[in-house]
Amino acid sequence: MQKKSGSETGGQGYVIGRVEPPDTGVNTWMTYRSIYTSNGVSHNIQRLVAQPKLSNSPLANTGSRIITYGVNWAAGTENLIVSTAESLAGNIPGASLVLSVYDAIRSFISGLSTTTEVSAPNITYTWSNVTTATFIYVRLDTESDDAQQLSSISTKTVTAVGYDIPKFNYKAVNGSWVLFPDIIQGKRTIYATPSRYANIADAVDAYNGLYPCPVQNEVYNIKISGPESKNVEVMWPCNPNSPLDCEW
Amino acid sequence: MKDLLKSRAAGIVYIVIAIALVALWITYLNRWNIALSSIDFSPSATSTVCEGFDANGDHYRVVTCHESLALLTENGFGWWKASLVSNPNSQDGLSRISWMIPASIRYAEDGSFAPDWEFHDVYCGNNAAGPVSPITAKLPPNVTVNVWQSGSSYLLHFISFGRESPLSGLSVGELLQSVGAIS
C-alpha cells in the first residue's frame, strides 16, 4: 500500500514515499521506473498503472438501455451511434464517432440506399467501459523514495457500445414494407485518450512547479446518443485522486 | 357529539388505509402475473426461457406464451416491467428477441484490450413441418443452441460469446426452411 510521510510541500501536493501497488483484487496494477532528465537535472519517475480485472472495479462500467422510436427515417439521415468524450480541457478528438443507420445495416440488406425509408421500433444499447489510470510519481534522482511526489494523474478509456435491433423494417423499391428476417447486432469501440495522457514531461514540469501538482488529464465524460439525437447514456468514468480511489 | 364524529372519521381513515395497504400487498404478491397480463400473456400459459442479470445488474426473465416472446426486467422495488415484446411476424411466422451482456474484458499481450459480449437470440414459432434440430448443423462456429420442440411448436435459444455476434444478419427463418423444418 502507499505510504505517506504526512508533510505537505508548499501547495504542491503530498510528499509520498515509495509507492507499492494496492492489491484488493479488482484491478491489475503495474509499476514502471525510469529516469527523465530536464534542464540537466535527472528525475526518477515511477509510473503506476491500473486496469480493471473484475466488473465491480471502479475502473469498469457496464449498462444497457432500450430506446423506443415511433417514426420512420431515411437510412442515411439518422445516426445509430454518435459519441463524444470530454476531458477537463474540452473535447477529446479521437473519441468522436458517428455511425449512420445506413452504414450499420447496408452489409445486411442489398439494394438499400441512403434515402430508403426504415423503421426500428426498439434499439437496445449495451455498453462496457474500461478505464486505465496512470499515476506518475517524481523525485530527484539523487533523493530517496521518501521524497517521491504524486505529480500526474491521467486516465484513458475504451468503451464498447453494442447495438441490438430485434425488428427492422424497410421500404422496398416497389413501395411495400419488408421485415428484415433477422436480428441486427453490432458494436463500435470508442477510444478516449486525452492528448497529454501519462505525459512524463508534464509530470516533471508539475513537480518543478510549472503546473498545479498533480497535473490531471482525465476523461471526464463520454456521451452516447442514438437516432433522433435521443440520449442513450452519459458515462462518468472514474476520476481518481489517488490509487486507492481505483479500488472501491 | 363532536368527539364521537372525530373518532368515527379517524376510524374510517384507518380502515381505508388498512384496506389500501392490504390491496397494495396483494398487488405486490401478484406483481409477476400482473406484469404478464399487462402484455396479454396468460400467466398459466407462460414459461420462462431464460433468466439472469443484465448489464445494469437488474434481474431479467425472457418468457414465452403461445408463440410470443417477452423480456421483463425487475426494478429495485421488485416490480416487473416488459422491456421487449415480440409476436410472430407474417413473413416467417417467427417471434424473436435478442439481447447482449458484457461478458469479460479480453487483454492482449501488447496491452490492448476490449470487452467481450454474451449474445442471446431467442426465436419461437408454431409452424414446424418437421424437426427443427437439424438446424444445428447449419450454424456458424462458436454458437450454441437450446432446442425445444413439441409438434409444430418450437423454440430456439442461441448463445454466443465474442466481439461480434456470429448470428447477426443470418436469417434463422431461411435456415429453418433449408432443413425442411418450416415450409
Tell me the count of A-B CB pairs closer than 8 A: 104
- In this predicted structure, the answer to whether residue A4 has a pLDDT above a threshold of 50 is no
Yes or no: say if A176 and B152 are a contact pair by the CB < 8 Å rule.
Answer: no
CB nearest to A164's CB, from B89, B99, B107? B99
- Pick the closest to residue A134 from A50, A77, A240 (CA basis): A50
Distance CA B28, CA B40 (A): 19
Q: How many CA atoms lie within 13 A of A238 on its CB side?
A: 29
- Pick the closest to residue A218 from A238, A235, A247 (CA basis): A238
User: For the packed helices B2-29 and B31-38, what is the interaxial angle rounded to 10 degrees?
Assistant: 70
CB nearest to A166's CB, from B86, B105, B113? B86
- In this predicted structure, the answer to whether residue A35 has a pLDDT above a threshold of 60 is yes
The tens-digit pLDDT sequence of chain B (183 residues) is: 678 788 888 889 999 999 999 999 998 899 999 999 999 999 999 999 999 999 998 999 999 999 999 999 999 999 999 999 999 988 788 999 999 998 888 887 777 777 788 999 999 999 999 999 999 998 988 899 999 999 999 999 999 988 888 888 788 888 999 999 987
Q: What is the dihedral of CA A48, A54, A55, A61, to 10 degrees?
A: 10
Residue A15 banded pLDDT, cuts 50, 70, 90: very low
End-to-end CA distance of chain A: 14
Q: How far does B52 lie from chain A, in Å, by closest CA?
A: 14
* Averaged pLDDT score across all residues of chain A: 86
Q: How far does B3 lie from chain A, in Å, by closest CA?
A: 56
- In this predicted structure, the answer to whether residue A19 has a pLDDT above a threshold of 90 is no
Tell me if B164 and A186 make a contact (CB, 8 A cut-off).
yes
For the segment A56-78, the average pLDDT, to the nearest whole number, is 88
For the stretch A188-222, pLDDT in tens is 999 999 989 999 999 999 999 988 889 999 999 99
Distances (CA, A) of A194 to A23, A220, A222, B122, B166: 27, 10, 12, 41, 34
Strand stretches in A69-143, DSSP E: 73-74, 79-87, 90-91, 97-100, 117-119, 122-140
- In this predicted structure, the answer to whether residue A13 has a pLDDT above a threshold of 60 is no
Chain B residue numbers with beta carbons less than 8 Å from the beta carbon of A185 are 98, 100, 119, 164-165, 167-168
Q: How far does B116 lie from chain A, in Å, by closest CA?
A: 9
For residue A246, the tally of other CB atoms under 10 A from its CB is 25
For the stretch A137-157, pLDDT in tens is 999 999 988 889 999 999 999
Tell me if A181 and B115 make a contact (CB, 8 A cut-off).
no
Give the DSSP letter string of B78-143.
S-EEEEEEE---TTT--EEEEEEEEEEEEEPTTS-EEEEEEEEEEEEES-BSS-SGGGGGGSPTTE
- In this predicted structure, the answer to whether residue A14 has a pLDDT above a threshold of 60 is no
Structure ipTM: 0.79
End-to-end CA distance of chain B: 81
Note the Cα A229 to chain centre separation in Å. Answer: 21
Note the Cα A79 to chain centre separation in Å. Answer: 21
For the stretch A87-142, pLDDT in tens is 988 899 888 889 998 898 888 888 888 888 998 888 999 999 999 999 999 999 99
Chain B residue numbers with beta carbons less than 8 Å from the beta carbon of A55 are 102
pLDDT for A18? 61
- Which amino acid is located at A67 in the chain? I
Tell me if B172 and A186 make a contact (CB, 8 A cut-off).
no
- In this predicted structure, the answer to whether residue A27 has a pLDDT above a threshold of 60 is yes
Tell me if A181 and B91 make a contact (CB, 8 A cut-off).
yes
H helix and E strand count, chain B: 3, 8
Contacts of B117 (CB under 8 A, 6+ apart): A126, A128, A160, A162, A187, B100, B101, B102, B103, B161, B162, B163, B165
